[in-house]
Amino acid sequence: MGRPTKDQRREDYLDIGAAIVAESRASGATDPGLALAHVKLADVAERAGVTKGALYHLWPSQEAYWNDLLHHLLSTNRLFGADRLATMSAELIAARGEPQTLREWANELFDTVRADPAFFARVSLFAYLDDESVRATLDREARDAIDGLQPVLAAAVADMGRRPRSNGALRDLAVQLAALLEGLSLKYRVDPERTPDLPASRGRRLTLFAAAADALLQAFTEPVGDETATARGSVMVAGVGAEV
């Protein structure tokens, strides 16, 4: 075990930065979206037990450090929380057949994402889109979420006695649901009262996201021809929130 190489030291200093980012998320810091900006070279040096000069030896500026830290976080996949859409979609599949599932799933998605510092950390990354590796990562993430969502939507739609209006309808629906979820979560962050729940119907909660998601779901699908299925569909659609 000799003296650590320059590369090892560099790695160590970036790991410390990643740890600071993770802590600011876990502590629910006031502005988790600014995760990178919270990481100051002076703090990294202090934790590493070295002088700031040692870090400035590796990075000419604070910005240069942030730039490397960003790529470090991306390559180690540490900036992103678990993919909420995929995880929660899996739960939906498991619970399939419960009449209120879609509404509850949408409620839970909204509750989770709007309070999730990782979501806001991701939005903060949009500021770095001129960096191709950032763009590619966010693009892949978006596509994975949308791909993961489609089978769930297909099953839910079939349960409702409905079917997609075209081949690409479920993909478009998944894209819109994700966009709506993110947009409403941003609104919520500015002022929770902007995105109020609808008055509970028979004690069942209905978030604005669930209600709006229902609007999109209905628009991208249509009742399967036969009347029994259509009637059944209207009952099941009520599970998402048509009936309020």
Partner 1 sequence: MGRPSAEERRRDYLDIGATIVSEFDGVGEGTAVDALANVRVSDVAERAGVTKGALYHVWPTQEAYRKDLFARLLEHSRQAGVRDLTDLLSDEELTSDPRRALHVHAEYVFQALKDDPTFFARFSFFLYANDPEVNELLTRGDDAVIAEFTPLVEAYLELQGRRIRAPFTVEMLLISMNALFHGLCLRYRTSPDLIDKPALDDPNGPNMYAFGIEALAQHFSEPIDGGNGSS
Question: Does residue 172 bind partner 1 (CB under 8 A)?
Answer: yes
78: three-class secondary structure by DSSP: coil
Considering beta carbons, is residue 4 or 151 the nearer one to partner 1?
151
Geometric angle at alpha carbon 68, from 27 and 61, rounded to 5°:
95
Give the x/- contact pattern for partner 1 in 127-146, rule: CB under 8 A.
Answer: xxxxx---x--xx--xx--x
Task: Please state, in angstroms and as integers, the Cα–Cα distance from residue 37 to each residue in 80, 82, 91, 134, 138, following that order.
Answer: 17, 23, 35, 17, 20
Question: Does residue 240 bind partner 1 (CB under 8 A)?
Answer: no
Contacts of 154 (CB under 8 A, 6+ apart): 164, 170
- Block residue for tokens 């979420």: 145
Minimum CB–partner distance for residue 7 and partner 1 (Å): 21
Instruction: Answer for the pair 12, 44: CB distance below 8 angstroms, yes or no.
Output: no
**Contact positions with partner 1 (CB under 8 A) in 213-232:** 214-216, 218-220
Minimum CB–partner distance for residue 1 and partner 1 (Å): 35
Minimum CB–partner distance for residue 5 and partner 1 (Å): 25
Question: Other C-beta atoms within 10 Å of 232: how many?
Answer: 17
> Which spans of this chain sit near partner 1 (rule: CB under 8 A)?
30-31, 33-34, 37, 63-64, 66-67, 70, 120, 123-124, 126-131, 135, 138-139, 142-143, 146, 165-169, 171-172, 175-176, 178-184, 186-187, 189-191, 194-196, 198-199, 208, 211-212, 214-216, 218-220, 242-244
